[in-house]
Amino acid sequence: MHHAATMTYLRAALTSLPMMLMTFIILSRGKLTHDPRHLFALVTTFYFLNTLFFLMVKTGRTDRWRAILFTVFAVAFVISFISHYVEARGSMALSESEILECRTPFCHIVIPMTIIPLALTRTIIFPGTMTGVYAAIASMFIIWIGASLSLGRGFCAWGCFLGGWDDGFSRIMKRPIIKSIAKKWHYLSFAVLLAVALTSAAMLSPTYCEWLCPYKAVTEYVQVTSLTRLVQMIIFMTLFAGLVVILPLLAKRRIQCGLFCPFGAFQSFTNKISPFEVRVDKNLCVKCRKCITVCPTFSMSEESLDKGKARMTCIKCGKCIDNCPKGALSFHIKGTSLGDDRTGQRLLFLYPAFLFLSTMAGGNIQSAIVRIIGLFTTGSLLTH
């Protein structure tokens, strides 16, 4: 027994070695700093990421450890993003002149709104900068294309810097108070996608960002200089409270991501090109419905169980797999037989997925640690 446990540890440690090497290169960017605050942030982030990956490998559970990193990432992103912008322009609010000068940071949620106008007018209808700055349009597009080809909608569980907010709130209560949500609502995000894509094309401006994005409440927002701006601000705050905090708390689901986010709906189509999917082994499934109950994005249904795979909205978080009492669910590579080397297939998914999350989260977590140390030592989150 003792020998078996040692072997399990050893195997998990060896499997984690490539991740340790790759995360070290990503976090250090190939050079070691002598600044003690940055060094502390680097070492802490490195241990944090690799402990979680080791636990994923050793315990066979995915979502339990992923969610910790994903939520910490979302909070760290807001700390480092706001501090960065307050340093750069003295405020979290965007002024009208900064919008005119195209200095708005780009975010992947805008992508579905840019497609039709890009095809029609050959311009990106977003007041951002193409290259060479923080959150430039070109770099976000490159990250998005790479992630979509490999992970598909896995982006929403392994890359989005905002999704950790409703993911985190959906885990606080032990049991849901809202136990079920009518099926018709499961398609709401596709309706939002259609509406914002068409209105953005008609008005040649990103209407979701201007009117509906709940995350404006915790990132940058436009200065309130008119009644319209005031109404927009009230909408952002209300949507954040309702869709990101209260409903995820009560329903224990990712309501903003699962039912409202137009990028999430759009990203569902990229699941068609990703080589990875979540499959049900119908020989093992006893139809207990546990996976349907826990799925944060309503991507498991009776039909999924009959068809043997998750719906196209699946974000590949692994929560259903962690919770299935019969081990009937697994990460699966398309084109291979179901049941073929499940551990190997899971690892082939976990390496790119975890590395992507580490790449997206690592810099933000390090920056947030440096700023929090600064808060305790100098009384400010700003580094200058």
Q: Which two tokens stand for residue 197?
A: 């894509």
Judged by beta carbon, residue 28 or residue 293, the one nearer ligand SF4 is: 293
Binder of ligand SF4 out of 162, 328, 350, 357 (CB under 6 A)? 328
> For ligand SF4, which stretch binds (CB under 6 A), given 8-16, 187-195, 325-333, 343-351?
325-333
> For ligand SF4, which stretch binds (CB under 6 A), given 49-57, 159-167, 216-224, 326-334?
326-334
Judged by beta carbon, residue 41 or residue 278, the one nearer ligand SF4 is: 278
Judged by beta carbon, residue 114 or residue 299, the one nearer ligand SF4 is: 299
Binder of ligand SF4 out of 11, 29, 289, 307 (CB under 6 A)? 289
CA atoms within 13 A on the CB side of 281: 17
C-beta contacts of 197-206 below 8 A and 24+ residues apart = 197/112, 197/113, 197/115, 197/116, 197/262, 198/116, 200/113, 200/114, 200/116, 200/117, 200/125, 201/116, 201/117, 201/120, 204/117, 204/121, 204/125, 205/125, 206/110, 206/113, 206/114, 206/125, 206/126
Residue 378 neighbours by CB distance under 10 Å:
10
From the CB of 212, what's the least distance to ligand SF4, in Å? 23
Alpha helices in the chain (DSSP H): 2-28, 36-59, 63-89, 96-100, 111-121, 137-151, 155-158, 164-169, 188-203, 207, 227-239, 247-251, 255, 262-268, 290-294, 302-307, 319-323, 342-378
The yes or no reply on residue 300 touching ligand SF4 (CB under 6 A) is yes
Q: Which two tokens stand for residue 192?
A: 């939002």
The yes or no reply on residue 257 touching ligand SF4 (CB under 6 A) is no
**What CA–CA distance (Å, rounded) separates 20 from 284?**
35
> With 0-12 CB in 10 A as exposed, 13-18 as middle and 19+ as buried, what is 375?
middle
From the CB of 304, what's the least distance to ligand SF4, in Å? 7
Binder of ligand SF4 out of 324, 357, 360, 370 (CB under 6 A)? 324
Residue with tokens 């942030």: 41
Alpha helices in 90-136 (DSSP H): 96-100, 111-121
Judged by beta carbon, residue 57 or residue 257, the one nearer ligand SF4 is: 257
The yes or no reply on residue 196 touching ligand SF4 (CB under 6 A) is no
Within 8 A by CB and 6+ apart from 304, the residues are 280, 292, 310, 311
Binder of ligand SF4 out of 11, 29, 326, 334 (CB under 6 A)? 326
Judged by beta carbon, residue 109 or residue 300, the one nearer ligand SF4 is: 300
Binder of ligand SF4 out of 317, 353, 365, 381 (CB under 6 A)? 317
Judged by beta carbon, residue 103 or residue 290, the one nearer ligand SF4 is: 290
Q: Which two tokens stand for residue 51?
A: 């402990």
From the CB of 157, what's the least distance to ligand SF4, in Å? 7
Judged by beta carbon, residue 128 or residue 318, the one nearer ligand SF4 is: 318
From the CB of 295, what's the least distance to ligand SF4, in Å? 3
**What CA–CA distance (Å, rounded) separates 340 from 155?**
25
Judged by beta carbon, residue 186 or residue 287, the one nearer ligand SF4 is: 287
CA atoms within 13 A on the CB side of 295: 26
The yes or no reply on residue 297 touching ligand SF4 (CB under 6 A) is yes
From the CB of 138, what's the least distance to ligand SF4, in Å? 30
**What CA–CA distance (Å, rounded) separates 380 from 308?**
53
The yes or no reply on residue 286 touching ligand SF4 (CB under 6 A) is yes
Start-to-end Cα distance in the chain: 55
> For ligand SF4, which stretch binds (CB under 6 A), given 71-79, 144-152, 196-204, 282-290?
282-290
From the CB of 176, what's the least distance to ligand SF4, in Å? 15
Binder of ligand SF4 out of 92, 188, 288, 347 (CB under 6 A)? 288
**What CA–CA distance (Å, rounded) separates 150 from 316?**
12
> For ligand SF4, which stretch binds (CB under 6 A), given 105-113, 115-123, 232-240, 294-302?
294-302
Residues forming contacts to ligand SF4 in the complex (CB under 6 A) are: 278, 280, 285-291, 295, 297, 299-300, 305, 310, 314-320, 324, 326, 328-329
